[in-house]
């Protein structure tokens, strides 16, 4: 009887510690996401913009994705874009860029850019990764980042020409 009790205790310990080890392994394997740190960008436009980056890019370290996003960003530049940006420039708005490219060859991926100002959502853009970006390293996503942020500023400026409010009601 004491042998069975000893085996039961050993089995319980294996189960308990096995579950704890499994949980630690699962937590350590989760994809890297950005922390709440923000970069100051577009300093030539008002007080600039607070950039938040998150997402994953096919198993690459987050720092590589961050460098690619920073290298591809477009800031408001033409007169109409700067005029629209001036309406939301104080305090500095927040831009959140999320890049998601799952692991695996040929997997689709997406980029989204969302602009927030004065505590409200202002405008967003979303697009699929180009076929080139889906098959290459994160550095290849720079052109896609540039396109999505250029579209964001162009669409924001279009609100002036269409006599719409910069920050939706």
Low-confidence ranges of the chain (pLDDT < 70): 1-36, 105-106
Query: Which stretches does DSSP call E strand in the chain?
Result: 39-41, 49-57, 94-101, 110-117, 120-128
Q: Is the dihedral of CA 23, 24, 30, 35 positive or negative?
A: positive
pLDDT tens digits along 82-118:
999 999 999 999 999 999 998 876 678 999 999 999 9
The CA distance from 146 to 123, in Å, is 16
| pLDDT of amino acid 166 | 93
Residue (of 105, 106, 125) closest to 114 by Cα position = 125
* pTM for the whole structure: 0.76
**Cβ-Cβ contacts under 8 Å for 167 (sequence gap 6 or more):** 87, 88, 117, 118, 120, 122
């Amino acid at each position: 009887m004491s042998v069975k009790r000893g085996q039961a205790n050993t089995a319980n310990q294996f189960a308990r510690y096995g579950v704890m080890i499994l949980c630690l392994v699962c937590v350590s394997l989760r994809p890297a996401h950005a922390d709440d740190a923000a970069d100051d960008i577009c300093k030539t436009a008002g007080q600039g913009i607070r950039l938040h980056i998150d997402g994953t890019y096919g198993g690459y370290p987050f720092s590589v994705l961050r460098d690619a996003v920073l290298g591809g960003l477009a800031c408001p530049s033409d007169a109409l874009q700067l005029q629209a940006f001036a309406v939301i420039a104080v305090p500095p708005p927040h831009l959140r860029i999320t890049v998601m490219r799952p692991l695996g060859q040929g997997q689709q991926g997406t980029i989204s850019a969302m602009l927030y100002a004065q505590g409200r959502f202002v405008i967003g853009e979303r697009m699929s990764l180009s076929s080139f970006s889906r098959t290459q390293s994160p550095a290849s996503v720079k052109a896609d980042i540039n396109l999505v942020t250029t579209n964001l500023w162009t669409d924001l400026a279009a609100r002036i020409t269409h006599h719409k409010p910069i920050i939706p009601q």
